[in-house]
Amino acid sequence: MVIGRAHDGEQPTAIEQPYQYRRRTLVEPDWTRFPGWADVTAEQWSSAQWQRVNCVKNVGQLREVVGDRLHESFYEDLAADMANSATMSMLLPPQMLNTMVPELDDTAPGSWTDALAADPIRRYMLPVASDRRTDWPSHPFAARDSLHEHDMWAVEGLTHRYPTKVLAELLSTCPQYCGHCTRMDLVGNSTPTVDKRRLSLKPVDRQSAILDYLREHPGVRDVVVSGGDVANLPWKHLESFLDRLLDIETIRDVRLATKALMGLPQHWLQDEIVEGMGRVAKRAAGQGVNLAIHTHINHVNSVTPAVAAAAAAMLDAGVRDVRNQGVLMRGVNDTPEALLDLCFAMQGEANILPYYFYMCDMIPNAEHWRTSVAQAQDLQTAIMGYLPGYATPRIICDVPMVGKRWVHQLSEYDRELGISYWTKNYRTSIEAEDPDALTRRYPFYDPIDTLPKAGQEWWRNMKSPERVRADGDEAAARSREASERQASSSADAGA
Ligand code: SF4
Protein backbone atom coordinates (compact mmCIF):
# COMPACT_ATOMS: atom_id res chain seq x y z
CA MET A 1 0.00 0.00 0.00
CA VAL A 2 1.28 3.46 -0.82
CA ILE A 3 1.18 5.89 2.03
CA GLY A 4 0.48 9.55 1.37
CA ARG A 5 2.20 12.31 3.31
CA ALA A 6 0.19 13.26 6.39
CA HIS A 7 -0.39 16.83 7.37
CA ASP A 8 0.54 17.75 10.92
CA GLY A 9 -1.45 15.72 13.38
CA GLU A 10 -3.13 13.56 10.74
CA GLN A 11 -2.69 9.85 10.10
CA PRO A 12 -0.98 8.97 6.80
CA THR A 13 -3.57 8.22 4.14
CA ALA A 14 -3.41 5.49 1.54
CA ILE A 15 -3.21 6.74 -2.02
CA GLU A 16 -5.82 5.09 -4.18
CA GLN A 17 -4.08 3.42 -7.11
CA PRO A 18 -5.56 1.81 -10.21
CA TYR A 19 -3.71 -1.37 -9.20
CA GLN A 20 -3.02 -2.27 -5.60
CA TYR A 21 -0.02 -4.53 -5.08
CA ARG A 22 -0.15 -7.06 -2.27
CA ARG A 23 2.36 -9.80 -1.77
CA ARG A 24 0.71 -13.19 -2.08
CA THR A 25 2.15 -16.52 -1.03
CA LEU A 26 2.16 -19.17 -3.72
CA VAL A 27 -0.16 -22.10 -3.12
CA GLU A 28 -0.33 -25.59 -4.60
CA PRO A 29 -4.05 -26.26 -4.84
CA ASP A 30 -5.25 -29.43 -3.07
CA TRP A 31 -5.66 -32.00 -5.84
CA THR A 32 -7.71 -34.31 -3.62
CA ARG A 33 -10.70 -32.01 -4.18
CA PHE A 34 -11.04 -33.80 -7.54
CA PRO A 35 -12.93 -37.06 -6.93
CA GLY A 36 -10.62 -39.00 -9.25
CA TRP A 37 -7.53 -37.86 -7.36
CA ALA A 38 -8.90 -38.20 -3.82
CA ASP A 39 -6.31 -40.88 -2.99
CA VAL A 40 -3.33 -39.54 -4.93
CA THR A 41 -0.32 -39.13 -2.65
CA ALA A 42 2.20 -36.30 -2.61
CA GLU A 43 4.81 -38.76 -3.82
CA GLN A 44 2.72 -39.71 -6.83
CA TRP A 45 1.92 -36.06 -7.54
CA SER A 46 5.59 -35.10 -7.59
CA SER A 47 6.47 -37.86 -10.04
CA ALA A 48 6.88 -36.65 -13.63
CA GLN A 49 6.00 -40.11 -14.82
CA TRP A 50 2.77 -40.21 -12.81
CA GLN A 51 1.87 -36.79 -14.21
CA ARG A 52 2.47 -37.93 -17.79
CA VAL A 53 0.60 -41.22 -17.40
CA ASN A 54 -2.38 -39.45 -15.83
CA CYS A 55 -2.73 -36.65 -18.37
CA VAL A 56 -6.31 -35.96 -19.38
CA LYS A 57 -6.67 -36.55 -23.12
CA ASN A 58 -10.39 -36.90 -23.73
CA VAL A 59 -13.82 -36.30 -22.30
CA GLY A 60 -13.95 -39.76 -20.71
CA GLN A 61 -10.72 -39.16 -18.79
CA LEU A 62 -11.92 -35.75 -17.62
CA ARG A 63 -15.08 -37.45 -16.40
CA GLU A 64 -12.97 -39.97 -14.44
CA VAL A 65 -11.24 -37.10 -12.63
CA VAL A 66 -14.12 -34.69 -12.08
CA GLY A 67 -17.08 -37.06 -12.29
CA ASP A 68 -20.60 -35.79 -11.85
CA ARG A 69 -19.43 -32.59 -10.20
CA LEU A 70 -19.59 -31.25 -13.75
CA HIS A 71 -22.94 -30.99 -15.44
CA GLU A 72 -23.41 -33.15 -18.52
CA SER A 73 -23.82 -29.99 -20.59
CA PHE A 74 -20.16 -29.11 -19.97
CA TYR A 75 -18.96 -32.47 -21.30
CA GLU A 76 -21.22 -32.03 -24.34
CA ASP A 77 -19.89 -28.53 -24.95
CA LEU A 78 -16.33 -29.86 -24.74
CA ALA A 79 -17.03 -32.78 -27.07
CA ALA A 80 -18.67 -30.43 -29.59
CA ASP A 81 -15.60 -28.23 -29.62
CA MET A 82 -13.25 -31.16 -30.10
CA ALA A 83 -15.35 -32.42 -33.01
CA ASN A 84 -15.95 -29.14 -34.81
CA SER A 85 -13.50 -26.39 -33.91
CA ALA A 86 -10.43 -27.42 -31.90
CA THR A 87 -7.14 -26.89 -33.67
CA MET A 88 -5.27 -28.71 -30.87
CA SER A 89 -6.08 -32.02 -29.26
CA MET A 90 -6.66 -32.24 -25.51
CA LEU A 91 -3.63 -32.92 -23.35
CA LEU A 92 -3.71 -31.70 -19.77
CA PRO A 93 -1.19 -32.79 -17.15
CA PRO A 94 -2.83 -33.11 -13.72
CA GLN A 95 -0.62 -30.22 -12.56
CA MET A 96 -2.37 -27.89 -15.01
CA LEU A 97 -5.87 -29.19 -14.45
CA ASN A 98 -5.31 -28.72 -10.72
CA THR A 99 -4.75 -24.99 -11.21
CA MET A 100 -8.29 -24.58 -12.55
CA VAL A 101 -10.89 -23.53 -9.96
CA PRO A 102 -8.14 -23.77 -7.32
CA GLU A 103 -10.21 -23.01 -4.25
CA LEU A 104 -13.42 -24.83 -5.02
CA ASP A 105 -14.28 -27.49 -2.47
CA ASP A 106 -18.03 -26.99 -2.65
CA THR A 107 -19.81 -30.16 -3.62
CA ALA A 108 -23.08 -28.44 -4.48
CA PRO A 109 -24.22 -29.52 -7.93
CA GLY A 110 -23.69 -26.90 -10.57
CA SER A 111 -21.01 -24.88 -8.83
CA TRP A 112 -18.10 -26.76 -10.44
CA THR A 113 -19.67 -26.33 -13.86
CA ASP A 114 -20.08 -22.58 -13.45
CA ALA A 115 -16.66 -22.09 -11.90
CA LEU A 116 -14.86 -24.19 -14.51
CA ALA A 117 -16.71 -22.49 -17.34
CA ALA A 118 -15.48 -19.11 -16.07
CA ASP A 119 -11.95 -20.24 -15.22
CA PRO A 120 -9.23 -18.37 -17.16
CA ILE A 121 -6.90 -21.36 -17.48
CA ARG A 122 -9.75 -23.62 -18.57
CA ARG A 123 -10.63 -21.04 -21.19
CA TYR A 124 -7.42 -21.59 -23.13
CA MET A 125 -6.43 -25.14 -22.14
CA LEU A 126 -9.85 -26.77 -22.32
CA PRO A 127 -11.84 -24.77 -24.86
CA VAL A 128 -15.54 -25.54 -25.30
CA ALA A 129 -17.81 -24.82 -28.26
CA SER A 130 -19.75 -22.09 -26.48
CA ASP A 131 -16.51 -20.10 -25.97
CA ARG A 132 -16.04 -19.57 -29.70
CA ARG A 133 -17.57 -16.72 -31.62
CA THR A 134 -20.28 -17.66 -34.04
CA ASP A 135 -20.22 -14.37 -36.01
CA TRP A 136 -16.50 -14.37 -36.77
CA PRO A 137 -14.94 -17.62 -35.48
CA SER A 138 -11.89 -16.93 -37.65
CA HIS A 139 -10.58 -13.75 -39.20
CA PRO A 140 -10.72 -13.86 -43.04
CA PHE A 141 -6.90 -13.65 -43.00
CA ALA A 142 -6.36 -16.29 -40.35
CA ALA A 143 -3.89 -18.93 -41.45
CA ARG A 144 -2.60 -22.22 -40.14
CA ASP A 145 1.00 -21.08 -40.32
CA SER A 146 0.15 -17.45 -39.66
CA LEU A 147 3.76 -16.41 -39.02
CA HIS A 148 5.12 -18.23 -42.10
CA GLU A 149 7.47 -20.24 -39.93
CA HIS A 150 7.31 -23.21 -42.26
CA ASP A 151 7.78 -21.00 -45.33
CA MET A 152 10.99 -19.77 -43.71
CA TRP A 153 12.45 -23.18 -42.93
CA ALA A 154 16.08 -23.05 -44.01
CA VAL A 155 16.22 -26.79 -43.39
CA GLU A 156 13.42 -28.89 -41.93
CA GLY A 157 12.42 -27.43 -38.56
CA LEU A 158 14.76 -24.42 -38.67
CA THR A 159 12.96 -21.11 -39.16
CA HIS A 160 15.30 -18.31 -40.22
CA ARG A 161 13.18 -15.17 -39.86
CA TYR A 162 15.53 -12.63 -38.30
CA PRO A 163 19.08 -11.79 -39.41
CA THR A 164 20.90 -13.13 -36.36
CA LYS A 165 18.38 -15.46 -34.75
CA VAL A 166 16.78 -18.77 -35.61
CA LEU A 167 14.07 -21.01 -34.23
CA ALA A 168 14.95 -24.70 -34.10
CA GLU A 169 11.89 -26.92 -33.89
CA LEU A 170 13.39 -30.18 -32.71
CA LEU A 171 10.09 -32.00 -32.27
CA SER A 172 6.39 -31.46 -32.78
CA THR A 173 4.97 -32.58 -29.44
CA CYS A 174 4.50 -31.08 -25.98
CA PRO A 175 3.51 -32.45 -22.56
CA GLN A 176 0.47 -30.17 -22.74
CA TYR A 177 -1.47 -28.75 -25.66
CA CYS A 178 -2.74 -25.18 -25.57
CA GLY A 179 -5.93 -24.37 -27.45
CA HIS A 180 -4.45 -21.21 -28.98
CA CYS A 181 -1.11 -22.71 -30.08
CA THR A 182 0.37 -20.52 -32.79
CA ARG A 183 2.19 -23.54 -34.20
CA MET A 184 -1.09 -25.45 -34.59
CA ASP A 185 -0.11 -26.27 -38.17
CA LEU A 186 2.70 -28.54 -36.96
CA VAL A 187 2.39 -29.22 -33.25
CA GLY A 188 0.34 -32.02 -31.73
CA ASN A 189 -1.96 -34.68 -33.08
CA SER A 190 -4.34 -34.04 -35.93
CA THR A 191 -7.84 -33.05 -34.86
CA PRO A 192 -11.11 -33.59 -36.74
CA THR A 193 -10.65 -30.12 -38.26
CA VAL A 194 -6.86 -29.91 -38.71
CA ASP A 195 -4.69 -32.45 -40.43
CA LYS A 196 -1.24 -31.59 -39.09
CA ARG A 197 1.91 -31.09 -41.08
CA ARG A 198 4.44 -33.81 -40.33
CA LEU A 199 8.18 -33.59 -39.84
CA SER A 200 9.61 -36.01 -42.37
CA LEU A 201 13.30 -36.32 -41.48
CA LYS A 202 14.42 -38.65 -38.72
CA PRO A 203 15.19 -36.59 -35.57
CA VAL A 204 18.89 -37.36 -35.83
CA ASP A 205 19.01 -36.22 -39.47
CA ARG A 206 16.98 -33.10 -38.71
CA GLN A 207 19.32 -32.14 -35.90
CA SER A 208 22.36 -32.71 -38.12
CA ALA A 209 20.86 -30.56 -40.87
CA ILE A 210 20.13 -27.77 -38.37
CA LEU A 211 23.65 -27.88 -36.95
CA ASP A 212 25.20 -27.95 -40.45
CA TYR A 213 23.20 -24.85 -41.37
CA LEU A 214 24.36 -23.03 -38.25
CA ARG A 215 27.98 -23.93 -38.95
CA GLU A 216 27.60 -22.57 -42.47
CA HIS A 217 25.95 -19.34 -41.29
CA PRO A 218 28.22 -17.68 -38.72
CA GLY A 219 25.99 -14.58 -38.78
CA VAL A 220 23.43 -16.52 -36.77
CA ARG A 221 24.34 -16.15 -33.11
CA ASP A 222 21.09 -16.90 -31.24
CA VAL A 223 19.14 -20.16 -31.27
CA VAL A 224 15.73 -20.73 -29.73
CA VAL A 225 15.63 -24.48 -29.15
CA SER A 226 11.97 -25.29 -29.27
CA GLY A 227 9.29 -27.50 -30.77
CA GLY A 228 6.85 -28.39 -29.47
CA ASP A 229 8.38 -28.35 -26.04
CA VAL A 230 11.92 -29.51 -25.31
CA ALA A 231 10.60 -31.29 -22.21
CA ASN A 232 9.37 -34.00 -24.58
CA LEU A 233 12.87 -34.77 -25.84
CA PRO A 234 14.61 -37.53 -23.93
CA TRP A 235 17.23 -35.66 -21.89
CA LYS A 236 20.22 -37.44 -23.40
CA HIS A 237 19.09 -36.38 -26.89
CA LEU A 238 18.58 -32.77 -25.82
CA GLU A 239 21.94 -32.66 -24.05
CA SER A 240 23.67 -34.15 -27.05
CA PHE A 241 22.10 -31.52 -29.33
CA LEU A 242 23.03 -28.70 -26.94
CA ASP A 243 26.60 -29.98 -26.71
CA ARG A 244 26.94 -29.95 -30.47
CA LEU A 245 25.35 -26.50 -30.57
CA LEU A 246 27.89 -25.24 -28.06
CA ASP A 247 30.66 -26.65 -30.27
CA ILE A 248 29.77 -23.89 -32.75
CA GLU A 249 31.67 -20.92 -31.45
CA THR A 250 29.55 -18.33 -33.25
CA ILE A 251 26.48 -19.31 -31.17
CA ARG A 252 26.28 -16.87 -28.25
CA ASP A 253 22.68 -17.19 -27.02
CA VAL A 254 20.73 -20.39 -26.48
CA ARG A 255 17.13 -20.27 -25.27
CA LEU A 256 15.26 -23.43 -24.37
CA ALA A 257 11.49 -23.18 -24.87
CA THR A 258 9.40 -25.17 -22.43
CA LYS A 259 5.92 -24.46 -21.20
CA ALA A 260 6.35 -27.64 -19.14
CA LEU A 261 8.31 -25.63 -16.58
CA MET A 262 4.81 -24.53 -15.58
CA GLY A 263 2.60 -27.31 -17.03
CA LEU A 264 4.75 -30.18 -15.80
CA PRO A 265 7.32 -28.71 -13.36
CA GLN A 266 7.91 -32.24 -12.08
CA HIS A 267 9.81 -32.91 -15.31
CA TRP A 268 12.36 -30.16 -14.64
CA LEU A 269 12.77 -31.27 -11.02
CA GLN A 270 14.01 -34.77 -11.88
CA ASP A 271 17.59 -35.51 -10.77
CA GLU A 272 18.67 -36.57 -14.26
CA ILE A 273 17.46 -33.30 -15.73
CA VAL A 274 18.82 -31.03 -13.00
CA GLU A 275 22.24 -32.70 -13.15
CA GLY A 276 22.27 -32.66 -16.94
CA MET A 277 21.29 -29.01 -17.06
CA GLY A 278 24.11 -28.33 -14.62
CA ARG A 279 26.62 -29.82 -17.09
CA VAL A 280 25.23 -27.85 -20.04
CA ALA A 281 25.00 -24.60 -18.07
CA LYS A 282 28.56 -24.96 -16.79
CA ARG A 283 29.86 -25.45 -20.29
CA ALA A 284 27.80 -22.53 -21.65
CA ALA A 285 29.00 -20.22 -18.87
CA GLY A 286 32.60 -21.29 -19.47
CA GLN A 287 32.26 -20.25 -23.10
CA GLY A 288 30.43 -17.02 -22.25
CA VAL A 289 27.22 -18.27 -23.89
CA ASN A 290 23.90 -17.05 -22.44
CA LEU A 291 21.80 -20.10 -21.68
CA ALA A 292 18.22 -19.32 -20.67
CA ILE A 293 14.87 -21.03 -20.33
CA HIS A 294 11.78 -19.45 -21.84
CA THR A 295 8.47 -20.61 -20.50
CA HIS A 296 4.85 -19.75 -21.22
CA ILE A 297 2.59 -18.78 -18.31
CA ASN A 298 -0.65 -16.91 -18.91
CA HIS A 299 -2.33 -16.68 -15.53
CA VAL A 300 -1.31 -16.11 -11.93
CA ASN A 301 -3.07 -19.29 -10.78
CA SER A 302 -0.51 -21.28 -12.76
CA VAL A 303 2.35 -19.98 -10.60
CA THR A 304 2.50 -22.53 -7.79
CA PRO A 305 5.29 -23.62 -5.42
CA ALA A 306 6.14 -26.51 -7.77
CA VAL A 307 6.65 -24.04 -10.63
CA ALA A 308 8.82 -21.82 -8.43
CA ALA A 309 10.82 -24.90 -7.37
CA ALA A 310 11.41 -25.90 -11.00
CA ALA A 311 12.59 -22.38 -11.88
CA ALA A 312 14.86 -22.37 -8.82
CA ALA A 313 16.29 -25.77 -9.76
CA MET A 314 17.17 -24.51 -13.23
CA LEU A 315 18.73 -21.30 -11.91
CA ASP A 316 20.70 -23.27 -9.32
CA ALA A 317 21.87 -25.55 -12.11
CA GLY A 318 23.41 -22.48 -13.75
CA VAL A 319 20.86 -21.34 -16.29
CA ARG A 320 21.30 -17.60 -16.52
CA ASP A 321 17.63 -16.66 -16.63
CA VAL A 322 14.14 -18.10 -16.66
CA ARG A 323 11.88 -15.80 -18.68
CA ASN A 324 8.20 -15.84 -19.47
CA GLN A 325 6.63 -15.38 -22.87
CA GLY A 326 2.92 -15.34 -22.14
CA VAL A 327 0.10 -14.85 -24.60
CA LEU A 328 -2.43 -12.08 -24.19
CA MET A 329 -5.94 -13.50 -24.51
CA ARG A 330 -9.44 -12.28 -23.96
CA GLY A 331 -11.03 -13.85 -20.91
CA VAL A 332 -7.67 -15.15 -19.69
CA ASN A 333 -5.47 -12.21 -18.81
CA ASP A 334 -6.72 -9.14 -20.70
CA THR A 335 -6.94 -6.77 -17.73
CA PRO A 336 -4.17 -4.77 -16.04
CA GLU A 337 -4.91 -6.63 -12.78
CA ALA A 338 -4.58 -10.06 -14.37
CA LEU A 339 -1.30 -9.13 -16.05
CA LEU A 340 0.19 -7.45 -12.99
CA ASP A 341 -0.91 -10.22 -10.59
CA LEU A 342 0.81 -12.72 -12.84
CA CYS A 343 3.94 -10.61 -13.28
CA PHE A 344 4.33 -9.99 -9.55
CA ALA A 345 3.90 -13.70 -8.79
CA MET A 346 6.54 -14.63 -11.37
CA GLN A 347 8.99 -11.86 -10.55
CA GLY A 348 8.55 -11.75 -6.79
CA GLU A 349 7.82 -15.33 -5.85
CA ALA A 350 9.20 -17.59 -8.59
CA ASN A 351 12.22 -15.75 -10.04
CA ILE A 352 10.74 -15.90 -13.54
CA LEU A 353 11.27 -12.72 -15.52
CA PRO A 354 8.06 -11.29 -17.04
CA TYR A 355 9.55 -10.76 -20.46
CA TYR A 356 6.91 -10.69 -23.18
CA PHE A 357 3.19 -11.03 -23.70
CA TYR A 358 2.42 -11.83 -27.32
CA MET A 359 -0.91 -10.91 -28.79
CA CYS A 360 -2.67 -14.13 -29.76
CA ASP A 361 -1.82 -14.86 -33.39
CA MET A 362 -4.20 -14.96 -36.34
CA ILE A 363 -4.80 -18.67 -36.45
CA PRO A 364 -8.18 -20.23 -37.32
CA ASN A 365 -10.94 -20.28 -34.69
CA ALA A 366 -9.09 -17.91 -32.38
CA GLU A 367 -11.15 -14.73 -32.63
CA HIS A 368 -12.67 -15.17 -29.18
CA TRP A 369 -9.14 -15.13 -27.73
CA ARG A 370 -7.61 -12.36 -29.84
CA THR A 371 -7.46 -8.76 -28.67
CA SER A 372 -7.25 -5.64 -30.79
CA VAL A 373 -3.98 -3.73 -31.07
CA ALA A 374 -5.75 -0.81 -29.37
CA GLN A 375 -6.58 -2.94 -26.35
CA ALA A 376 -3.03 -4.26 -26.23
CA GLN A 377 -1.70 -0.69 -26.32
CA ASP A 378 -4.02 0.31 -23.48
CA LEU A 379 -2.88 -2.67 -21.43
CA GLN A 380 0.77 -1.86 -22.04
CA THR A 381 0.19 1.68 -20.81
CA ALA A 382 -1.78 0.45 -17.79
CA ILE A 383 0.94 -1.87 -16.53
CA MET A 384 3.80 0.63 -16.77
CA GLY A 385 5.34 1.86 -13.54
CA TYR A 386 4.46 -0.94 -11.13
CA LEU A 387 7.16 -3.53 -11.75
CA PRO A 388 10.90 -2.90 -11.89
CA GLY A 389 11.65 -1.51 -15.34
CA TYR A 390 13.66 -4.55 -16.43
CA ALA A 391 10.79 -6.81 -15.36
CA THR A 392 8.02 -4.83 -17.03
CA PRO A 393 6.90 -7.04 -19.91
CA ARG A 394 6.57 -5.71 -23.43
CA ILE A 395 3.30 -6.54 -25.14
CA ILE A 396 4.14 -7.71 -28.61
CA CYS A 397 2.37 -8.02 -31.91
CA ASP A 398 3.98 -10.73 -34.04
CA VAL A 399 3.25 -9.27 -37.45
CA PRO A 400 3.26 -11.79 -40.30
CA MET A 401 6.37 -11.32 -42.49
CA VAL A 402 7.72 -8.73 -40.06
CA GLY A 403 8.31 -10.32 -36.68
CA LYS A 404 7.93 -9.14 -33.15
CA ARG A 405 6.96 -5.51 -32.75
CA TRP A 406 6.16 -3.67 -29.55
CA VAL A 407 2.45 -2.72 -29.81
CA HIS A 408 3.19 0.99 -29.94
CA GLN A 409 5.55 0.63 -32.89
CA LEU A 410 2.96 0.59 -35.65
CA SER A 411 3.23 3.19 -38.39
CA GLU A 412 -0.51 3.62 -39.08
CA TYR A 413 -3.71 2.35 -37.62
CA ASP A 414 -7.20 2.46 -39.08
CA ARG A 415 -9.28 1.76 -36.01
CA GLU A 416 -12.54 1.64 -37.92
CA LEU A 417 -11.40 -1.26 -40.09
CA GLY A 418 -9.06 -2.64 -37.46
CA ILE A 419 -6.04 -2.65 -39.74
CA SER A 420 -2.66 -1.63 -38.37
CA TYR A 421 0.37 -1.17 -40.61
CA TRP A 422 3.91 -2.04 -39.65
CA THR A 423 7.36 -1.73 -41.15
CA LYS A 424 10.60 -3.57 -40.63
CA ASN A 425 14.31 -3.03 -40.80
CA TYR A 426 15.60 -6.43 -41.99
CA ARG A 427 14.80 -9.05 -44.58
CA THR A 428 13.56 -12.49 -43.67
CA SER A 429 15.38 -15.41 -45.24
CA ILE A 430 12.84 -15.58 -48.10
CA GLU A 431 13.13 -11.92 -49.10
CA ALA A 432 16.74 -11.72 -50.26
CA GLU A 433 15.59 -10.70 -53.74
CA ASP A 434 12.66 -8.54 -52.67
CA PRO A 435 13.49 -4.87 -53.36
CA ASP A 436 10.44 -3.63 -51.44
CA ALA A 437 10.83 -5.72 -48.30
CA LEU A 438 12.15 -2.79 -46.25
CA THR A 439 9.75 -0.15 -47.52
CA ARG A 440 6.53 -2.15 -47.72
CA ARG A 441 3.91 -1.69 -45.01
CA TYR A 442 2.67 -4.95 -43.54
CA PRO A 443 -0.92 -5.21 -42.25
CA PHE A 444 -2.20 -6.81 -39.07
CA TYR A 445 -5.90 -7.25 -38.39
CA ASP A 446 -7.94 -6.71 -35.23
CA PRO A 447 -10.77 -9.12 -34.39
CA ILE A 448 -13.75 -7.89 -36.38
CA ASP A 449 -16.20 -8.13 -33.48
CA THR A 450 -14.15 -5.47 -31.63
CA LEU A 451 -14.62 -2.89 -34.43
CA PRO A 452 -17.16 -0.10 -34.57
CA LYS A 453 -20.34 -0.89 -36.51
CA ALA A 454 -19.12 0.75 -39.72
CA GLY A 455 -15.94 -1.33 -39.67
CA GLN A 456 -17.83 -4.56 -39.06
CA GLU A 457 -20.13 -3.68 -41.94
CA TRP A 458 -17.12 -3.11 -44.23
CA TRP A 459 -15.80 -6.58 -43.48
CA ARG A 460 -19.24 -8.16 -43.81
CA ASN A 461 -19.52 -6.77 -47.32
CA MET A 462 -16.21 -8.20 -48.41
CA LYS A 463 -16.66 -11.07 -50.79
CA SER A 464 -13.17 -12.58 -50.80
CA PRO A 465 -9.75 -12.13 -49.21
CA GLU A 466 -8.46 -10.79 -52.56
CA ARG A 467 -11.12 -8.10 -52.49
CA VAL A 468 -10.22 -7.35 -48.89
CA ARG A 469 -6.60 -6.93 -49.89
CA ALA A 470 -7.52 -4.45 -52.61
CA ASP A 471 -9.89 -2.54 -50.38
CA GLY A 472 -7.38 -2.79 -47.59
CA ASP A 473 -5.01 -0.72 -49.73
CA GLU A 474 -7.74 1.83 -50.26
CA ALA A 475 -8.34 1.80 -46.53
CA ALA A 476 -4.65 2.42 -45.99
CA ALA A 477 -4.71 5.41 -48.33
CA ARG A 478 -7.76 6.74 -46.52
CA SER A 479 -6.08 6.33 -43.16
CA ARG A 480 -2.88 8.01 -44.44
CA GLU A 481 -4.83 11.01 -45.70
CA ALA A 482 -6.59 11.31 -42.36
CA SER A 483 -3.25 11.25 -40.47
CA GLU A 484 -1.79 13.86 -42.83
CA ARG A 485 -4.81 16.08 -42.34
CA GLN A 486 -4.52 15.68 -38.60
CA ALA A 487 -0.77 16.44 -38.67
CA SER A 488 -1.27 19.56 -40.76
CA SER A 489 -4.10 20.86 -38.56
CA SER A 490 -1.93 20.28 -35.46
CA ALA A 491 0.91 22.19 -37.15
CA ASP A 492 -1.49 25.04 -38.00
CA ALA A 493 -2.75 25.13 -34.46
CA GLY A 494 0.81 25.25 -33.12
CA ALA A 495 1.89 28.04 -35.56
S1 SF4 B 1 3.37 -25.54 -25.21
FE2 SF4 B 1 3.77 -24.06 -26.84
S3 SF4 B 1 4.14 -25.32 -28.68
FE4 SF4 B 1 3.12 -26.63 -27.14
S5 SF4 B 1 0.94 -26.46 -27.57
FE6 SF4 B 1 1.40 -24.91 -26.04
S7 SF4 B 1 1.81 -23.05 -27.24
FE8 SF4 B 1 1.96 -24.80 -28.64
Q: In this prediction, what percent of the chain has a pLDDT beyond 70?
A: 89
E-state strands within 281-424? 290-295, 321-328, 353-359, 394-399, 403-406, 412-414, 419-422
Give me ligand 1 centre to Cα 184, in Å: 8
What pLDDT, in 10s, does the model give residues 242-255? 999 999 999 999 99
Q: What is the DSSP string of 268-292?
A: HTSHHHHHHHHHHHHHHHHTT-EEE
* Residue 156: C-alpha distances to residues 1, 97, 222 (Å): 53, 34, 18
**Ligand 1 centre distance from Cα of residue 108 (Å):** 34
- Burial bucket for residue 331 (CB in 10 Å: 0-12, 13-18, 19+): middle
User: What pLDDT score does 486 carry?
Assistant: 44
The predicted model gives 294-323 an average pLDDT of: 98
In the reported structure, the alpha carbon of residue 326 is separated from the centroid of ligand 1 by a whole-number distance in angstroms of 11
* pLDDT 10s digits, 146-196: 999 999 999 999 999 999 999 999 999 999 999 999 999 999 999 999 999
Residue ID of nearest Cα to ligand 1 atom 8: 181
Query: Which residue has the CA at smallest separation from atom 7 of ligand 1?
Result: 181
Instruction: Tell me the CA–centroid distance for residue 448 and ligand 1, in Å.
Output: 25
Shortest CA distance to 333 belongs to which of 325, 322, 342?
342
Cβ of 154 closer than 6 Å to ligand 1, yes or no, is: no
Q: What are 373-397's pLDDT values in tens digits?
A: 999 999 999 999 999 999 999 999 9
Q: Which pLDDT band holds residue 103 (cuts at 50, 70, 90)?
A: confident
pLDDT digits over 195-234, tens only? 999 999 999 999 999 999 999 999 999 999 999 999 999 9
Are 360 and 367 in contact by the 8 Å Cβ rule? The answer is: no
C-alpha 336/C-alpha 6 separation (Å) is: 29
List residues bridging with 294 in a β-sheet.
257, 323
Domain architecture of the chain: domains with CATH: 31-131 (no CATH), 153-403 (3.20.20.70)
Look at residue 111 in the predicted model and tell me its pLDDT: 85
